[in-house]
Amino acid sequence: MSTANGPCPYYINGECRFGRTCTRPHPPELSPELRPNDNYTVSDIPGQECQRCLDQSLPCDKVGRQSGKADPCSECRHFGGENANCVLLENVSRNDHLWRQMMGRGSDGYKLPAYKPRDAPRKRRGQQITPQPMKGEDLVSDWSGQTREELLDLGDMLPEDVRARPRAYLKAAGLSHQQEKGRQWMNNQRQIDEGKVSSKRKHDEISGAQPYSVPVYQVPQFPLPQPDPQRGPAESVTFNLDGNSITSAKVRYPGINGDGGLEVTSFPAPAAPTKLPRGTQGR
């Protein structure tokens, strides 16, 4: 299941409060209630793999080697080709990489790509390329690692159930760069606002001004609006007042199918005309 808007990000983390009335999809393949069937843990430690091993879900032994590409991991050494650039991705974990891979495969039921043997031809720039080893002269003289045959015998490092139901094994990836900037901005604004309040309090203390205290409003027991048959329970009710009288009530219902929601305004029923008792008219 895939839409232009993508699945509801709150549902994926178990936080959506709209349920069936939510305008964003809730794919069962991304349910946070999914549980693993295999005793397998996906690493969430960043800086442990190179780009190629993350992309192809291969075990990477680059950690502990020299930082340059002349001392590659075993996978890049035997299958990366002469242009392999084996460096660790310091800020990405295997969990986060698989999460983003999963989220981009809605048309495939959010399954991870099927395993492809290391020596199988791969499409690159419109051509089928058979994986080749790096050139010996491009390597450090004392390079050591697993052999080509040992790697071929390893097969797929991911259990079948991880590829079929990745959400059961993955944690939600960290915030994107843009989301992190937004969160930092909100925190900065909160600190600025708190600083303004603190400064005003100090000013009031020095000047002897009496601080304004917002009165506590006791919410009366209003009857709740009837749920909409399609949109479900109301989101909010707004009353417009004229003195001590309610002039109108605006009820807002959640949006469905991508619309912006529904607002219904009601007005008090006109008071019924007073009827005189029978036999008193015309006196």
List per-residue pLDDT tens for the chain, 283 residues long: 334 468 988 898 888 888 888 889 999 999 999 999 989 999 999 999 999 999 999 999 999 999 989 999 999 999 999 999 999 999 999 999 999 999 999 999 999 999 999 999 998 888 899 999 999 999 999 999 999 999 999 999 999 999 999 999 999 886 555 545 555 665 677 677 677 666 666 666 666 666 556 666 666 666 777 787 777 788 888 878 887 777 888 888 777 766 666 777 877 666 555 455 555 444 4
CB crowding 171-192: b at 16 or more within 10 Å, else e: eebbeeeeeeeeeeeeeeeeee
Q: pLDDT value at position 240?
A: 81
Q: Is 213 exposed, middle or buried (0-12, 13-18, 19+ CB in 10 A)?
A: exposed
Residue 175's contacts (CB-CB under 8 Å, 6 or more residues apart) are 183
pTM: 0.61
Two tokens at 156?
Answer: 């797929």
Q: pLDDT value at position 283?
A: 44
Q: pLDDT value at position 210?
A: 61
Q: pLDDT value at position 282?
A: 45
Query: Using only C-alpha atoms, what is the Rg of the chain?
Result: 32
How many Å apart are CA 188 and CA 250, to the nearest integer?
A: 35
Two tokens at 4?
Answer: 């232009």
- Asked if 164 contacts 109 with a C-beta cutoff of 8 angstroms, the reply is no
Two tokens at 76?
Answer: 């890049």
Q: Is 19 exposed, middle or buried (0-12, 13-18, 19+ CB in 10 A)?
A: exposed
